[in-house]
Structure 1
Amino acid sequence: MNSEIEKVKRELVKIGKRIAQENLIVGPGGNISAKVGNRVYIKASGISFEDATEDDYIGVDFNSGEVIEGDKKPSSEIWMHLECYKVREDVKAVVHTHPIYSIAYAFQDEPLKLFTPDMVALLGGEIPVVEYVVPGGKEFAGVVGGVIKNHNGVLVKNHGLVTVGSNLKEALYRTLLIENSIKTIFVAKLFGKMGFFTKEQIEEIDSLEVEKYRRKLLKEKG
């Protein structure tokens, strides 16, 4: 096993345990993956993040989806992961979780709009909502991929959240930021008011050198 693959597998284990600690899933739910050349490493089916070891991240062929490394069955969401990589050459990691607030928010039929500088810098744009599709198949993969083609995340009704990134850390941070932003909306509406950025405000933040520098660091040090 070459050093790049070893590094990616260690990172998958680390990110997976963080996902479990943040209560973004329950039991064996959710799945993450990372692309290395023509291979995609994804969590094995039925394995919980907190228990997963490097051996529980299975290597599959990017083009065919066939297992080429490991003796376990890959997550049933493998087709969705592969589709995210196929529609975006810049995507090298996919994180799929089942966060409580994100699932609840999706029922509102409203995209998650931007209202903080962090959201502008890290999410890049609003996060759309799509209707529920039976998980695990190519139809689900096509629906998610259709959104990911132009966005860095998607909320799926009755299911969960999918985010992508140039590395696992960026994809995870997007997941955490989306869930925390939705919590903020919930609290703001309890107080009575909520405010979102205008297009002009978003463009102003997006052009700041400090935000460009932060994005650059995250992509380089993932």
Structure 2
Amino acid sequence: MGGRNRLRQRRVVKGQPVSVDQAARQIVAVGRVLYERGLVAATEGNMSVRLAGNRFLTTPSGLCKGRLRDHDVVTVDALGKKRGGHGNPSSEIKMHLAIYEERPDILAIVHAHPPIATGFAVAGVPLAGCVLPEIILTVGSVPLTEYGTPSTDELPARIRGAARSHDAFLLKNHGAVASGSGLWDACHKMEMIESFAKIVLAARQLGRVEALSSADVDKLLALGGVNRPAAGCGGCVTCEIGRA
């Protein structure tokens, strides 16, 4: 049970906010990766980075994330008010700010529409079972939040519970969100979410998704598993974590 108790604790991410220039360069580079790997299309998706002084750097609204330039990014305060940059901040900035409020330990957020993972979100299926060691060790379970209308106050309200205890989650009928110790960390988690979704889909097509045993899960948690599975693990009954 020691591992399971650790699983209930929020992971503390160590790190310091980067400079505006560094954050801008990271947003441009990560946006290109997300676009080239098909995790966003056209003007989809958004990113943000926590800066010093309770400020945040975010992607602009209406621009392709694969073609951003350093000067395209926008600075906002903790209320989402624009404080610098060209254009308007991402229409989803309210969701980002809600996550930062719930998770003072994270420094960056990526919201994307990875096709297979978003398919799970549309089907109402979480990616929360204890299936792959790499996911347990690096991302943790990926629960599914209730639907909230994008760009409204509904969405931040619907994701707070998942954001509080998970580094990644699916947005019902919408997409996926990943947070991390930096923008590249969040980007890598988004890539892993999509890879995980592809593997689970393939296993379902083959007729069976076989979860790890409770003993194997405990061993992984002892190595530093990220967070607890969601209360509803999509049929996985490996353990009772999350029901207490």
Into which bin does the TM-score normalised by the smaller protein fall? 0.7 to 0.9
In 2, Cα distance between equivalents of 1:70 and 1:21: 25
1:208 aligns with 2:223: yes
**2:33 corresponds to:** 18
**1:42 corresponds to:** 58
Compute the displacement of 1:146 (Å): 2.2
Compute the displacement of 1:191 (Å): 2.0
1:77 aligns with 2:92: yes
Q: Deviations over 1:29-51 (max 9, x none)?
A: 10001001111111000011111
Give the direction of change, closer, same or farther, for the CA distance of 1:107–1:73 in structure 2 (3 Å limit): closer
Compute the displacement of 1:206 (Å): 2.5
Match of 1:65 among 56, 60, 80: 80
1:191 aligns with 2:186: no
In 2, Cα distance between equivalents of 1:138 and 1:91: 22
- One-letter code aligned to 2:31: G
Contact 2:121 2:174 in 1 (8 A): no
1:114 aligns with 2:130: yes
Aligned sequence identity (%) = 29
Q: Deviations over 1:62-118 (max 9, x none)?
A: 2x2111111310011010001110001111111000111111112443321231221
| Structure 1, gaps ≥5 residues long | 213-222
**1:218 corresponds to:** none
Match of 2:153 among 138, 141, 161: 138
Compute the displacement of 1:199 (Å): 3.5
- One-letter code aligned to 2:179: V
Contact 2:50 2:107 in 1 (8 A): yes
Aligned length: 207
In 2, Cα distance between equivalents of 1:171 and 1:122: 11
Whose RCO is larger (CA < 8 A, sep 6+)? 2
Flag the structure with higher helix content. 1
1:90 aligns with 2:123: no
